[in-house]
Amino acid sequence: MAERSEVVFVDGVRTPFGRAGEKGMYWNTRADDLVVKAIIGLLERNPSVPKDRIDDVAIAATTQQGDQGLTLGRTAALLAGLPKSVPGFAIDRMCAGAMTSVTTLGSGIGFGAYDLAIAGGVEHMGRHPMGFGADPNPRFLSEKLVGEDALNMGMTAERIHDRFPHLTKDRADRFAMLSQQKVAAAYAAGKIQADLVPVALRSESGWGLATEDEGMRPATSMEGLASLKTPFRAHGRVTAGNSSPLTDGATASLLASGEAARELGLPPKMRLVSFGFAGVEPEIMGIGPVPSTEKALRKAGLSIDDIGLFELNEAFAVQVLSLLDHFGIDDEDPRVNKWGGAIAIGHPLAASGVRLMIQLARQFSEHPEVRYGLTAMCIGLGQGGSVIWENPNWNGKA
C-alpha cells in the first residue's frame, strides 16, 4: 500500500463579507456567483495551475436550496470556467462546511486519489437564513433526543454561560471589543486585504465594488456593549455585540499533494498535520472544539503547548472563551486571533472554515518561529472541528 501523500494548502481567497439582509451589500448578488468569484480569483492568483489537472471541487453550504443548491461544487466549477472534465460536489456540516471541504479533499490527496483540489464554502444568510425550509424530525423533541434549545444557537451560547459562571458577560464583551479593535488594526496595516477578491455590486443606485468586510464596528466600547439587549433570554449574557453577525460571503482554497506542488512550482503556505471532528450535547454545542482539538492533537502526537498560533471562529465570544479556559490560555493571549475574528468580520456559516485558514497561512509567513497552528470552530447540532497545520517557513527556532 502506498505511503500517505503530503497535503499542502497552496493558497486561499475570499470575498469581502457582507451584512445579511436587504440592507446588506450582497442582497442583489446570487450566492453561487459569490463562490464562483472566489474560485476565479483563486485561479487567477495561481496561473501555473493547469485547470484540467484539478481533480475535484468541494463547495459547502448550510442551506442547500435555491442559488445555494444543485451540487454547488459542480455548478460553481462550470461557472468558474473549469473544464467539464473537472467534477465537483456539495458539503453540509453547518458552520464547518468549508473546513470539511478541506479535510475531505485533503484526505483524498493524502490517500493518493487527488493531486490538486479546490475546497471552499458559501453562505448567503440574507437569502437563506439558517434552517430555513428545514423540517426537523419531531422525534428529536418528542423522544428527548435533544433539548428545545439545540436548534437555537444563541440559546446554546447562553447555556455555556450557565455551565461556566466564571465566563462572565463582562469577559465576553471585552473579548468582542478587542476582536473589533484587532480587525481594525489588521486592516490599517494591510494584513487582510491581500486575500480579498473584489466583487461587483448592483443596487438601485447603480454599480459598486465590495473591497472590504461590511460588518466591522471599530468604535465598539465596553459601555456600548453593556447596553445591548439580550435577545435569547431576559437578563441573559449573549448579545449582538458579543456574537458574530448574520453574514453573506464565500471562500475558496487550493490544496495539492506535496509532489504536485513541487512539480508546478506552487510554494505551500501550510502543511496539513491532522484534523478532528467531535460531537457534544447539541444544547451546548459551543464546547465542541474542545474535544475535537484534543482529538486532532492526539492524532498529531502534539500538545496544546506546541500550538503557536490559533485561529478560532468567534461564533460567540463565550464559545471561544470556553476553549481557552479549558486549555489554560489567557483571554488576551497574543497567539489567539491576532487579527480579530468573526465578531467583527462576520461568520457566513459554511464559508468560515477557510477564512480561518487564510488568516493562519498569512500569519505563518510572518512568524517563522512558529511551527504549528490551529484552526477550530464550533458546529451546530453539537459538534466541533479542528485542523492542525505546520508552517513551511518554520526556522527551527522556538
Q: How far is 317 from 337, CA to CA, in rounded Å?
A: 12
Indicate if 235 belongs to the active site: no
Supply φ then ψ for residue 11, to 5 degrees.
Answer: -165, 160
Residue given cell 484534543 in the structure block: 294
Q: How far is 245 from 242, CA to CA, in rounded Å?
A: 9
According to DSSP, residue 328 is labeled T
Indicate if 347 belongs to the active site: yes
- SS3 call for 167: coil
Single-letter amino acid, residue 347: H
Evaluate whether 382 touches 155 at the Cβ level (below 8 Å): no
Indicate if 124 belongs to the active site: no
Single-letter amino acid, residue 367: H
- List the catalytic residue out of 95, 124, 128, 161: 95
- List the catalytic residue out of 124, 128, 161, 378: 378
Q: Which grid coordinates belong to 327?
A: 486549555
Q: How far is 303 from 251, CA to CA, in rounded Å?
A: 29
- List the catalytic residue out of 124, 161, 347, 367: 347
Q: Identify the H or E element spanning 74.
A: helix 72-79
Q: How far is 252 from 255, CA to CA, in rounded Å?
A: 10
- SS3 call for 109: helix
What's the angle, vertex CA 161, arms to CA 160 and CA 165, rounded to 5?
Answer: 125
Beta-sheet strands, E only, within the chain:
7-14, 18-19, 54-60, 88-91, 116-124, 199-203, 206-210, 247-257, 270-279, 307-312, 372-379, 383-390
Evaluate whether 187 touches 144 at the Cβ level (below 8 Å): no
- SS3 call for 12: strand
What's the angle, vertex CA 388, arms to CA 387 and CA 393, rounded to 5?
Answer: 135
Q: Which grid coordinates belong to 21?
A: 439582509
* Cβ neighbour number for residue 204 with a 10 Å cutoff: 5
Residue given cell 471541487 in the structure block: 57
Q: Give the catalytic positions in this structure.
A: 95, 347, 378
